[in-house]
Every structure is written in C-alpha cells, then in structure tokens.
A and B are shown apart, each in its own frame.
Chain A
Amino acid sequence: MHSMTKRTLAALAACTALSAPALAQVSGDLSIFLDTSNPAPRATMEAMIERFGEKNPDLNIEITVIDREAYKTQIRNFLTANAPDVATWYAANRMKPYVDAGLFDDVSDLWAEPMFADDLKSTKGAMTIDGKQWGVPYTYYQWGVYYRKDIFDELELSAPTTWEEEKVNCEKIVASGRACYTIGTKFLWTAGGWFDYLNMRTNGYDFHNQLANGEISWEDDRVKQTFANWKELIDMGAFIDNHQTYSWQEALPFMVNGEAAAYLMGNFAVAPLRDAGLTDDQLDFYQFVSINPDVELAEDAPTDTFHIPSAAKNKEAAREFLRFVASPEEQTIINDGKNLGQLPVNSKSSVDDDKFLQKGFVMLSENSPGGVAQFWDRDAPAEMAKVSMEGFQEFMVKPDQVDKILAKLERARGRIYK
C-alpha cells in the first residue's frame, strides 16, 4: 500500500478556477482509494486527481493505491472500518453485497443531473440496483474475438459473422494443424467469457440475465442448447489442449507463435499481444458471431466504477469528484491510447484513434441492440459465478459430462438464491 498527500498551491489554482467557473469549488479533506495498481493506470489516475486538485485548491486530497487483487478482499474491511470518501469498484452484481449492506451511498441525485442522465445513459443500467444508482463509471472496454489476420489470409478465410461460417473456418484452421482459439482457464473466468457469448447468442440477453439471477433452471433445454453449441467447438478441437493449466497470460504465446488463430478476450489483451511483437497488420478484431438469428446481438463490456462509501466524511467533495471524472473532457483524456486505452463512458467524449478501440466503440454503440452485459462473474452472484465457472472449466475438459455438471449447477442454484 502506498499513500501520498498532495497539496496544491492556492496561487496556481486561482487562475485555473477562473477558467472553469461551471464547477463549484469544494474544500476540506478528500481521501480516495484506488485499485489501479498497474503502473500505467496508476499514473493516469494520479494525473487526473492532480487536475482535480488544481481546480479545487482548498481541497487536501489523499490517494491510497492498493494492489488490484488485494483490494478485492480489503474493500470489505475498509468500507466498514476506515472508509475513504471515494473508492473504485465494479458495476452490477459485484457491488450488490455492499449496496445491500448499506455501505455504498445512493448517488441517484447525481444521475438526475443532465450530464449523467443524458451522456452516461448507456451505463446507467449497470449502476442501478433497486431503482437507485450507487456509483459512477469511469471506463469500460469491449470483449470480442482478437484474431491473427495473417493466418486467416494464409488459409484464405474471412472474419465470420454466422455460426456456420465460424465452424467452417474453424475446421480449416484445425486442419492446418492449429487450434482455433487459445484460452487459459486456470483462473476460471475466461471460461465465463465463452459462456457469456455462447448463451447470449443462443438464448439472448434477457434469458442470460434471468439465468444469472437464478430465475431459470440450469437443466432447462435452452441452457442445454448453449452447451451443445459449445460442445461442437470442443469436439472439433477448437481450443488449445491443457488450457486448464494456464492463466490468460500464459495462453497468449500460443497466439503469438501462431499455434492458435484467435482469442476471445477483453480489449486489455491487445497491449500484451502488441508487446509480444504482433503488428496491427497481423492482429485484428471481429464481433462474436451470431448463432441464433432470432436473438439480438448483445455484448460483454465490463465497467469499472467509483463509489462513495456511506461512511465517507466529505460527500460533497466526493460528488464533485465524480462529476469531474465523468465529464467529457476527463473521459477523453483518461481513456485515450496513452492512458487507460479503453472506452469513455461519456457519449460526448471522443474515442482514441486506436483501431481496436474504434471497432469496439462502433460495435457497442451500433451493433449491440440486445444489451450490454458486465461479465459473468460480475452479473451472477459471487458464489454462483464461482461454482458455475468451475463447471464451465470441467465441461471444456470433459464435454461428455455435461448432464452431471448441469445437475450440480442446478443444485447450487437451489442453495444460493433464496
């Protein structure tokens, strides 16, 4: 854990304050807890907070950066014992335990303001529980299939759009001695991504949501159809062998070495793939194919968020900070290619020129009529997510056990949703 205090010079900020009269000035102390511990996002966040500090010279801001994984367990302690004024977290069901326990402040008043109501409309659903909003998003990113264009060209394939094309492509890739997809399921969640897409494409977004909320049996025929589709890919040898032993990073070399042609992953996979030497001519992106033509396309786009703990001391300054974070200018800066390299949540901001961000932005804003899901382990309750993703991993290794696995998930459903 690392903490630093920033005091900005009043004199310096006096002139900046003149240039931004629209924002009210706040004073006092503001403590911010961040989970953006990787160097690049961390620098982005610190720079952004510095800009906020310049606008509010009387505010004494303290930043605490906590390791991203450790944060997930520490949040339970600090929200109850030593609450900051602002803390990062995730949208949807992932914030539900804290909302239910009354640890997050209701920020519906912010969402009633025109900027939030109009420009952040696309993420409002993900921030809503019981008809109220509990936080403000600051970034999100698309999921989709990242593929080796050079391999596709060599085999004279084009990016598929339908399930049939997908399977034909995959057969050719397998015949050339490669796997269609690399994946590392050691930490389970990557299999959750595959389930998200296959189920949303087979049964649609609403069905998927109902399943995540425990309203539908895992032994329902429609769920079985999802797994039947998945099995088609597994049986043809679409996935790399031994994926249960690898993390998502350890699965990257298969794609870099050309042993696998594609990767269903979030946009954060682009950076390591480029670092490993793949150029933008070799690497491309396509939206996950449609399977059932009767359902509308829906996408995964996990959203990272800021929240105000109920025990925060300076809620006025915290709200001002959230307004600042969501503003179109800041959204443009922090999400550009030099910083987070993700998508801005404010529709008035501009998206970076990066080809993957552009494609992702178009896909999410124009070609995802069914809705936008967060991700399986954020949409389903934590316990169900854990049990089910273990089931998905087992299924990917032993597809013939599907009935046994689904029966197990159904038992878990009976226990978890009460």
Chain B
Amino acid sequence: MSASTDIIDSEPESWFHRNQQAIAPWLFLAPGILFFVVYVIAPVFQSFNLSLYEWDGLGQAEYIGMRNYEDLYYEWVDRDAFYTSLKNNLIWLVLYLLAIPAGLFIALLLNQTVFGIRLYKSLFFFPFVISQVVVGLVFTWFYDPTFGLLNQMLGVFGMGPINVLGNEHLVTYGIIAAGLWPQTAYCMILYLTGLNAVDPEQIEAGRLDGAKGIKMLWYIVLPQLRPATFIAFVVTIIGALRSFDLISVMTQGGPFGSSRVLAYYMFEVALSEYGFRMGYGAAIAVVLFMIMMCFITYFLWSMYREEKGH
C-alpha cells in the first residue's frame, strides 16, 4: 500500500488538483446555476419569443411580429386596460414605499426594554406571518359598504358610507392600504435587527456633542441602518411590482377593471377563465420584466459599488 502511495505522490499533480481552488466554487454553484438557467433564464427568453406570437394555448401559434406590442400601445393611447394597469403599478410603487418610514417608526417605538415588549413585537409582526389571502379577506370585510367596520366607524362621526372597493378612484388606494399592513411589519423586523447592530459608543459620542431627537436619528442612527434600509427598499419595490394576490382576492381587478396592475392583467389575459391570449400575456410580462429590470440593475449596481468600496 505504502509503495503505491509514494508513486502517486511523486507524480505531477493532476489537473483537478492544480485547479481545485478555481473549480470548486463552480462545482458548488453548478446545481443552482442549472436550475436558474432552466427555470428562470430560459423562460424569460421563451416569454420574449412567445410575445411575438398569437397563441390560444391549444392550437397552432401564429407569428405576428410586434402586433401584440402595437395593441398594448393602442390600449395605452385609448387609456384602456393597459394604461390603467401601468398607472396603478406606479401608484403601488410610490405608496408602497410608505412601508419603509412606517416600519422604521414602529421599530424605533419597539426598540426599548419594557415589560412584555416581546409580545408587542410579535403582535406587530403578526400581519406578515398570516397569508396575503387572509389579509385580503379581512380588509374586504373591513371595507364592506353595508356591514364593514370602516363604515360603522365613519357613521359614528356622521360621515356617509363609502364603498372603497366599489369606487374606481379609491379602490387601488384601498388595496395598497391592505398591502401596507404586512409590508410595514416586514420593514419593521428589518429595522429591529438593524437597530441591534447600532454602535452604542457612537450614540454616546453623539449625545456628548449634544445631538438629540431628530438630529440623533438622522445623523447617527440612520447612517448605521443603511444596509437595513437598502434591503427594505429592495423588498418593497419588488413587492409592489408583483402585487397580485391582494387584487385577486379583494376585487379581481374590478370594479370594471380599475384596480388592475400589470401582473394581474397578464394573468387575466393569458390564464384566467376568459383568457386565451398567451402571446399578449407574454407581451405584458415582457413590459413588466423591463420595469423590474430597471430596478434590479440599479440594486445590483449599488451593491457592486458598495462591495468595491470596502
């Protein structure tokens, strides 16, 4: 035995051994890359391709060039469904970001040691744990024009009943409010962990220099919370763009399509009970992908810059 080992040792190192350092990461990444390519990258290109066809999901797909995009353009010009969806997506993007300051506020409120603070934290985190479907249902009942709690409360102040989910101007805001409930909880938990890592010595030093209240928050605490803010920003933007479940549960895009967003419109056109236009759905998906791509590129770029800085 020992003789043979000697022989191997004395031989020049194998190619694998020499390049082990370089190959090992790729070997470990291989399963992930494989699945990412098959289930994410390839479908992206398939969607691009499909968006150039007219296909009902059953028969032969017919190549129609850019016509799906032309139709989308005309829907935009006519202020039709696509316009509404895009506009609502924008409203979602902007208002959903409110979850970040709200989460920060609650996190600061809860970042103290008093009796039962764990219970309060759990209660504030609760909406994030329950399913979006349940959140949607709860808010649907809350908004119910005849029996809902919201209108009962408004009634106490002598204000007339409002049908939030039945009013084409209010409905998107109503759904966003429902969405903010769990999203705020999510941002709160991100900030709570961030606050644990805030350096007490810097707080001390700031206090000695006379920083208080807002100034302390703005100049001492927030800069240290930058990583948490970044993550909160990322998840909130992505969350806003893929808002689907709440809309599906609360309004199904109604009344008369005024609460649609791109993700829901895509589902409606391609996969719902009355949907047979796979190509058109793919075209909407491509548009949504482009919008997401802008943000993703920005996130990746700023992460890259961050890492280079260190």
Contacts and interface: CB of A to CB of B under 8 A. Distances in A.
B254 A186 contact: yes
A2 interface: no
Contact of A242 (B58, B166, B273, B276): B166
Contacts of A245: 144-145, 163, 165-166, 255
B145 A383 contact: no
A386 B59 CA distance: 21
Contacts of B58: 76, 79-80, 97-98, 100-101, 103
Given A242-B166, A245-B165, A382 B275 contact: yes
B146 interface: yes
B210 to A, nearest CB: 55
B256 A394 contact: yes
B254 A377 contact: no
A241 interface: yes
B59 A101 contact: yes
Interface string B48-72: 0000000011110000000000010
A397 B255 contact: yes
B271 to A, nearest CB: 7
Nearest to B274: A386
B256 A242 contact: no
A128 B43 CA distance: 39
B80 interface: yes
Contacts of B256: 244, 390-391, 393-394, 397
A110 to B, nearest CB: 24
A241 B145 contact: yes
Q: How large is the interface on B (under 10, 10 to 19, 20 to 34, 35 or more residues)?
A: 20 to 34
Contacts of A187: 252
B78 A73 contact: no
A92 to B, nearest CB: 15
Interface string B248-267: 00011011110000000000
A73 B257 contact: no
A411 interface: yes
Contacts of B255: 185-186, 244-245, 393-394, 397
A408 B145 contact: no
Contact of A383 (B59, B251, B252, B274): B274
Interface string A315-342: 0000000000000000000000000000
Contacts of A241: 145, 163
Nearest to A393: B256
A186 B254 CA distance: 7
B273 A73 contact: yes
B35 to A, nearest CB: 23
Nearest to A187: B252
B220 to A, nearest CB: 48
A27 B68 CA distance: 49
Contacts of B59: 100-101
Nearest to A76: B57
Contacts of B57: 76
Contacts of B78: 408, 411
A255 interface: no
Contacts of A377: 274
A407 to B, nearest CB: 9
A394 B80 CA distance: 13
A396 B163 CA distance: 15
A239 to B, nearest CB: 13
Contacts of B71: 415
Contacts of A390: 254, 256-257
B277 to A, nearest CB: 7
Contacts of B274: 377, 382-383, 385-386
Interface in B153-204: 163, 165-166
Given A187-B252, A394-B255, A72 B145 contact: no
A35 to B, nearest CB: 12
B105 to A, nearest CB: 32
B56 A97 contact: yes
B254 A188 contact: yes
A245 B259 CA distance: 13
B168 to A, nearest CB: 8
B228 to A, nearest CB: 39
A188 B255 CA distance: 9
Nearest to B251: A186
Q: Which of B145, B272, B274 has the most CB of A within 10 A?
A: B274
Given A79-B58, A97-B58, 10 more contacts: A73-B272, A76-B58, A100-B58, A101-B56, A188-B254, A242-B146, A244-B254, A245-B165, A386-B275, A397-B256
3 smallest beta-carbon distances between A and B, as pairs: A394-B256, A386-B274, A101-B58
Interface of B: 56-59, 71, 78, 80, 144-146, 163, 165-166, 251-252, 254-257, 268, 271-277
12 contacts: A100-B58, A101-B59, A185-B255, A187-B252, A242-B163, A242-B166, A244-B255, A245-B145, A385-B274, A393-B256, A408-B78, A411-B78
